[in-house]
Amino acid sequence: MYKHSGSRGSGAPGWVLQRITGILLVVVVIGHYFVMHSDPASGHTYAAVLARMHHPFWKMFDLTFITVGLWHGLNGTWGIFRDYKMKPAVSLTIYGIIILSGIAFWVLGVNTILSF
Amino acid sequence: MAYQPKPPDGWLKTNLKYNKHKGSWAWILHRITGLGLTAYIYVHIYALTTLTQGEQAFDNEMKLFTTPVFKVLEWLLFSLVLYHAFNGVRIVLVDWADGAKYHKKLLTVVYGLGVVLFIGMGVLMFREPIANMFASLR
Ligand code: HEM
Ligand code: HEM
């Protein structure tokens, strides 16, 4: 991990995964948007959301979305910080915040999905 | 291992003065939209936790998100999605499919496709108010 905290690691595996997850997200995010707005109730009422949440397909969809989306967003954010030279302590703190908040919000979101 | 000397004018001024062409704006926009969407995911995940508190809690929250201001904000959010998604595909094509030869044409496609889908989403989201507007004209 330390290797990546001073703009030193090549970051190549992350670079490739950033592209693969990105391509996957094209379908997932744009699809999500059209489903949520297909009619005014779809994304904005408990009844319509729950109808999806009980369905295994949408459960898998949401689990994939939150995992791939958070990883892509946070790996991308970390990539931006890597562009700047920082003292190792600063860089490690930022890395820690990204990882810990990412895990916390992943757990929070997965908990919502698996509650139904 | 010393830190690089600061540019004489300071970091911000140097960046602002730097000559920007179409491609640098595309890159800056990709960053801003990526960060914006990441921030949105956090808020979104938190907002959805009311689902676990039952129908009342969720539908109450949705009263705010279905006000006209939030409807428009949700529509505008789609522009971040569209730009970042299509420009992301463009980046991948440049990296992996010889896209450097045609990246400027691709940028036109990115903006064009984005505008079309953005307007399409606007019609989808606001079809009721739009229909009402035309009905009242008659
Ligand atoms: C919809 C499909 C998406 C595609 C095709 C895509 C594609 C990409 C690509 C290829 C990169 C790497 C840019 C580079 O290395 O220069 C990137 C960066 C990034 N993406 Fe995405 N992405 C998508 C969705 C998202 C979403 C949903 C989020 C937020 C949750 C997000 C957040 C970011 C961030 C923060 C970066 C870093 C930007 C930078 O390095 O300047 N992306 N994206
Ligand atoms: C304004 C437009 C949006 C609306 C109304 C909306 C609505 C919803 C709803 C109701 C759910 C619950 C699951 C379901 O009903 O299938 C959900 C889940 C989700 N959405 Fe969205 N969404 C929107 C935009 C976005 C965007 C732009 C992103 C990505 C950056 C996104 C990422 C997610 C993720 C990751 C989940 C799963 C979250 C979790 O498990 O807590 N959404 N969305």
d(CA B108, CA A39): 31
pTM of structure: 0.87
Residue A5 domain flag:
no
Residue A43 falls inside a structural domain: yes
Contacts of B34 in chain A (CB under 8 A): 73, 76-77
Decide if A3 is inside a domain.
no
Q: Is the CB of A29 under 6 A from ligand 1?
A: yes
Name the residue range of residue A59's domain: 12-114
Question: Into how many domains does chain A fold?
Answer: 1
- Tens digits of residue pLDDT in B42-90: 999 999 999 999 999 999 999 999 999 999 999 999 999 999 999 999 8
Q: Sign of dihedral through CA atoms A68, A70, A73, A75? A: negative
The Cα of B9 is separated from the nearest Cα of chain A by a number of Å equal to 18
**pLDDT tens-digit series, residues A80-97:** 998 888 889 999 999 999
Q: Give me the DSSP letters along B74-117.
A: HHHHHHHHHHHHHHHHHHHHHHHSSGGGTHHHHHHHHHHHHHHH
Q: Is B109 on the interface with A (CB under 8 A)?
A: no
Domain assignments of chain B as residue spans, ordered by start: 22-137
Residue A33 lies inside a defined structural domain of this protein? yes
Please state, in angstroms and rounded to a whole number, the distance separating the CA atoms of residues A70 and A102: 7
CATH number at residue A35: 1.20.1300.10
By C-alpha distance, the chain A residue nearest B6 is A85
Q: Which CATH class is domain B22-137?
A: mainly alpha
- Compute the distance from residue A105 Cα to the ligand 1 centre, in Å: 19
Contact B96, A30 (CB under 8 A): no
